[in-house]
């Protein structure tokens, strides 16, 4: 189930409420748990929302696994300020390169190019599609190369599996 709202006015005072009901035989649903979250405190990504009782006590391990996709509206005149607040290290690096360029105008300096699509996705004026987001690289294999090189080799012509053999110091042969 997805919930979408195009525009929220006064996001500081807006809340999102989750309510989970249990079906009973007589047809009247009975509420099991609630959770109210401030829109201001939501971050993008998957989150566990821990449910609470009417008395605001945790329901133990009962939680909802929810994907939040929040983008904030920023006026076009304030995009640079908002981008600097969202990514302070990049803006500090850009300011430092600008100050070095002003101090030493004839020296060669690296230009820091900021991708507009990334900045727009951070600021929230345009969504970055899921196809454009970089996927994490898979972790390295836990099996060392020496183990895989000693493993079985398959002979395709005879369709037999050939094993490499190793001779022990006592003279007996062991199949690997």
Share of the chain above pLDDT 90, in %: 9
Q: Name residues whose C-beta falls within 8 Å of residue 78's C-beta, 6 or more positions apart in sequence.
A: none
Report which of residues 7 and 160 the model is more confident about: 7
Distance CA 146, CA 61 (A): 44
Q: Mean pLDDT across the stretch 122-128?
A: 51
Considering only the top CATH level, what class is 11-68? mainly beta
Helix (H, G, I), strand (E, B) or coil at 98: helix
pLDDT band at 45 (very low <50, low <70, confident <90, very high): confident
Burial of 33 per CB tally in 10 Å (0-12, 13-18, 19+) = buried
Q: Mean pLDDT across the stretch 117-128?
A: 52
Burial of 83 per CB tally in 10 Å (0-12, 13-18, 19+) = buried
Distance CA 53, CA 95 (A): 50
Q: Mean pLDDT across the stretch 45-70?
A: 88
Range 121-141 burial, b when 16+ CB lie within 10 A, else e = bbbbbeeeeeeeeeeeeeeee
* Residue spans per domain, the chain: 11-68, 76-123, 145-175
**This prediction's pTM:** 0.44
């Amino acid at each position: 189930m997805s919930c979408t709202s195009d525009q929220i006015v006064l996001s500081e005072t807006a809340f999102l409420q989750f309510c989970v009901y249990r079906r009973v035989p007589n047809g009247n649903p009975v509420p099991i748990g609630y959770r109210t979250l401030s829109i201001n405190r939501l971050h993008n990504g998957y989150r566990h929302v821990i449910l609470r009782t009417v008395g605001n006590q945790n329901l133990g391990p009962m939680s909802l696994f929810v994907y939040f996709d929040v983008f904030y509206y920023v006026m076009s005149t304030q995009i640079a300020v908002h981008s600097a607040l969202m990514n302070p290290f990049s803006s500090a690096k850009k300011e430092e390169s600008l100050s070095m360029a002003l101090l030493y105008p004839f020296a060669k300096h690296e230009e820091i190019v900021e991708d507009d699509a990334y900045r727009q996705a951070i600021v929230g004026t345009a969504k970055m599609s899921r196809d454009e987001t970089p996927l994490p690289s898979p972790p390295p294999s836990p099996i060392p190369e020496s183990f895989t090189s000693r493993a079985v080799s398959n002979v395709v012509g005879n369709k037999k599996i050939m094993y490499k053999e190793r001779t022990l110091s006592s003279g007996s042969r062991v199949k690997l």
